């Protein structure tokens, strides 16, 4: 499988998976079901594979959100839309209407313990890039 170097196909793929091997393999498996007359993966094929995968995962992601406490869902959505390495900053809290103090720290710890976000050293980013992409699409 080769990406068309004249398109943004590879960049779109890399932006979607953000180095997450599991997400990359899921998209690659989807791409393998497509036929490429010239042997090159196009930007539209990558987009179609990502959209199909997100559609299939939407029930799983919805169920996940239903199982989380509301404050964790709100924080997860905020981090997906507006990644930051300082979610405890006054500006970030005000911008996203987050709870202060122990509630915010409890949400951060809870999401880290569930493997949904990385810790402070890794910038509190979402650990599942496709979940972040799905949240951004859902919220926009």
Q: What is the distance between the alpha carbons of residues 14 and 30, in angstroms, rounded to a whole number?
A: 15
Asked if residue 62 belongs to a domain, the reply is no
Asked if residue 112 belongs to a domain, the reply is yes
Q: What is the distance between the alpha carbons of residues 139 and 87, in angstroms, rounded to a whole number?
A: 19
Express each pLDDT in 31-78 by its tens digit.
999 998 888 999 999 999 999 999 999 999 999 999 999 999 999 999
Instruction: Specify the DSSP class assigned to residue 122.
Output: G
Asked if residue 61 belongs to a domain, the reply is no
Asked if residue 36 belongs to a domain, the reply is yes
Shared domain for 133 and 89, answered yes or no, is yes
Shared domain for 48 and 24, answered yes or no, is yes
Q: Residue 101: what pLDDT?
A: 75
Q: Enter the pTM of the model.
A: 0.89
One DSSP character per residue, 52-107 reads HHHHHHHHHHHHHHHHS-HHHHHHHHHHHHS--S-TTSHHHHHHHTPPPTHHHHHH
Asked if residue 118 belongs to a domain, the reply is yes
Domain count, the chain: 2
**Residues paired with residue 2 on neighbouring β-strands, in sequence order:** 40
Shared domain for 7 and 28, answered yes or no, is yes
Quote the domain boundaries for residue 33.
2-56
Express each pLDDT in 85-117 by its tens digit.
999 999 999 999 998 777 999 999 999 999 999
């Amino acid at each position: 499988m080769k990406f068309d170097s004249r398109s943004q196909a590879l960049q779109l793929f890399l932006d979607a998976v953000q180095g997450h091997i599991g997400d990359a393999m899921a998209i690659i498996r989807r791409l393998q079901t497509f036929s490429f007359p010239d042997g090159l993966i196009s930007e539209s094929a990558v987009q179609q594979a990502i959209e199909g995968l997100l559609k299939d995962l939407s029930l799983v992601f919805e169920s996940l959100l239903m199982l989380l406490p509301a404050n964790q869902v709100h924080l997860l959505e905020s981090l997906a839309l507006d990644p930051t390495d300082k979610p405890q900053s006054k500006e970030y809290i005000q911008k996203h209407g987050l709870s202060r103090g122990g509630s915010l720290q409890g949400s951060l710890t809870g999401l880290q313990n569930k493997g949904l976000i990385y810790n402070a050293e890794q910038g509190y980013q979402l650990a599942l890039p496709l979940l972040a992409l799905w949240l951004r699409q859902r919220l926009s």
